[in-house]
């Protein structure tokens, strides 16, 4: 299978290309230099050259706070760019996988969000534009996967773990919010699941994170320092006390992943195990 992967320079796109190649598929990874998703002519040209059987669309504007100040640019990437790709998938009759986010919901309550829930109420520009991307895919295509993820970390980019390790080296104490709840997602593990999925025709909406239970960012920081052997003290604070964010953040990022098992897909390892492997790889590289 020939698979076009957008956002290859990002954490997830990088791992998806590696996993596809590992399984013997022909992966064609592109980023903005090879295909500007905001330019329909650029998208058409690459699709005509590659002629993919499937597309994994990882490219997105994911800087949540800066998105508030650049709404037009963010919409061009997350909404219009996704629509251009969906239109080309429709022309070629190829499968499309769109990577989305829990930010399409309002982030309230305590119940996990079901993948087929349509109670959309984005809190910010990022969430709104990702939802517009979802709607473009679902309205144009029949052969699509919409996979919502949360709290992503991977080797090929910046993430919460790297930030904590960097701060923990120079500060005795860090303040971390304890009222935003979710589950981390390791892109290395997620990439394997996404390739499992794209090899099937079990289309529809899915949620995917690592297993291991729902936690706060405070809990995550504590485990990062524990596994890394840091003595850094973590002080729990509320989102309101923490301040600083330009964009509203969801308090409830719990995602219901039961549909994955129901469709026969193997669930991801626990986030604690994923963190252990991620830290080991970082130590091996340093």
What are the strands, taking DSSP E only, across the chain?
Answer: 2-6, 26-30, 54-57, 95-101, 144-149, 152-153, 173-177, 181-182, 185-186, 204-207, 215-216, 233-237
Phi, psi (deg, nearest 5) at residue 159: -160, 175
DSSP conformational letter for 76: I
Q: Which residues of 43-62 are buried (b: 16+ CB within 10 A; e: fewer)?
A: beebbeebebbbbbbbbbbb
- How far apart (Å, rounded) are the C-alpha atoms in residues 225 and 228? 5
Q: What is the pLDDT along the chain (286 residues), one digit of tens a residue?
A: 999 999 999 999 999 999 999 999 999 999 999 999 999 999 999 999 999 999 999 999 999 999 999 999 999 999 999 999 999 999 999 999 999 999 999 999 999 999 999 999 999 999 999 999 999 999 999 999 999 999 999 998 889 999 999 999 999 999 999 999 999 999 999 999 999 999 999 999 999 999 999 999 999 999 999 999 999 999 999 999 998 778 999 999 999 999 999 999 999 999 999 999 999 998 777 6
State the chain's mean pLDDT as an integer. 96
d(CA 133, CA 235): 37
242 flagged as catalytic: no
Alpha-carbon gap, residue 1 to 212, rounded angstroms = 33
How far is 170 from 146, CA to CA, in rounded Å? Answer: 40
Within 10 angstroms of residue 23's Cβ, the number of other Cβ atoms is 13
Q: Which of 126, 205, 230, 278 is catalytic?
A: 126
Q: pLDDT digits over 78-133, tens only? A: 999 999 999 999 999 999 999 999 999 999 999 999 999 999 999 999 999 999 99
State residue 272's pLDDT score.
Answer: 98
């Amino acid at each position: 299978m020939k698979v076009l992967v957008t956002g290859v320079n990002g954490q997830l796109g990088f791992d998806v290309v590696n996993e596809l190649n590992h399984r013997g598929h022909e992966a064609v990874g592109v980023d903005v230099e090879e295909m500007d998703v905001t330019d329909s002519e650029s998208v058409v040209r690459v699709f005509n050259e590659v002629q993919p059987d499937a597309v994994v669309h990882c490219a997105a504007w994911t800087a949540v706070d800066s998105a508030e100040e650049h709404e037009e640019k963010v919409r061009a990437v997350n909404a219009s760019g996704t629509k251009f790709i969906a239109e080309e998938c429709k022309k070629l009759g190829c499968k499309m996988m769109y990577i989305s986010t829990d930010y399409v919901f309002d982030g309230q309550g305590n119940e996990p969000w079901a993948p087929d829930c349509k109670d959309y109420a984005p809190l910010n520009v990022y969430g709104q534009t990702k939802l517009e991307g979802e709607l473009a895919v679902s309205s144009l295509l029949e052969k699509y996967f919409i996979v919502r993820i949360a709290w992503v970390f991977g080797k090929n980019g910046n993430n919460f773990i790297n930030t904590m390790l960097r701060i923990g080296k120079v500060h005795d104490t860090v303040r971390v919010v304890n009222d935003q709840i979710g589950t981390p997602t390791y892109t290395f593990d997620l990439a394997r699941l996404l390739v499992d999925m794209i090899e099937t025709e079990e289309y529809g909406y899915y949620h995917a994170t690592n297993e291991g239970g729902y936690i706060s960012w405070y809990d995550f920081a504590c485990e990062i320092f524990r596994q890394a052997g840091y003595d850094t003290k973590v002080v729990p604070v509320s989102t309101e006390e923490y301040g600083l964010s330009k964009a509203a953040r969801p308090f409830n990022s719990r995602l219901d992943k039961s549909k994955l098992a129901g469709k026969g897909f193997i669930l991801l390892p626990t986030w604690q195990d994923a963190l252990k492997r991620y830290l080991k790889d970082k130590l091996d590289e340093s």
